[in-house]
Amino acid sequence: MEHKGFTLWFTGLPCSGKTTLADALAKDLREKGMKVERLDGDIVRKSLTKDLGFSKEDRQMNIERVTFVAKLLTRNGVAVLCTFVSPYNAIRRKSREEIGEYILVYVKATPEACAERDVKGMWAKAKAGEIKNFTGYDDPFEEPDNAQIIIDTENQTVEESKKIILNWLDKNSYL
């Protein structure tokens, strides 16, 4: 199936549900015959950006590298699903400008809800002082000022959230 390439950029606090939702959505898009690639923060940091830490500058470089890859895939007709905390509005705006067909999905959840569903224990480690500069705890997360789609993972199931995104994509001629 030929389709216009686009990037769905999922942003939100750590453990807000970005990866869970994007993985489920990728499956649905593949079943529709679409070319789909997933770029996930945890995976990218083990390869493409393994040389980077978590300073503001390193986070920015991480997103710049991912943006470059997403842009290449998007212009070649791929549905790219990116799941990154990407905490700053300025870098998200820059990614939008660079990629072009960029849809920002804000996966919204409170820090308390994120800490409750954290299977890796990162929020607890941040609270104990074992992790410094943890987004949402001792490092800022700027709520998106221009998200096309807002998903509330505290009040919506994965299925409900997928439906919202698929409806938006269909309405805006991406499907």
Active site residue 95: no
Question: What is the model's pLDDT at position 26?
Answer: 98
Residue 61, Cβ density class (10 Å: 0-12 exposed, 13-18 middle, ≥19 buried): middle
Higher pLDDT, 41 or 173: 173
Residue of 16, 86, 95, 161 with catalytic role: 86
Structural domains for the chain: 6-108+142-171 (3.40.50.300)
Band of pLDDT at residue 173, cut at 50, 70 and 90: very high
Q: Give how far Cα 144 sits from Cα of 5, 77, 78, 82, Å.
A: 23, 26, 24, 15
Question: What is the model's pLDDT at position 37?
Answer: 96
HSE-up (13 A, CA, CB side) for residue 17: 24
pLDDT at 101 over 80: yes
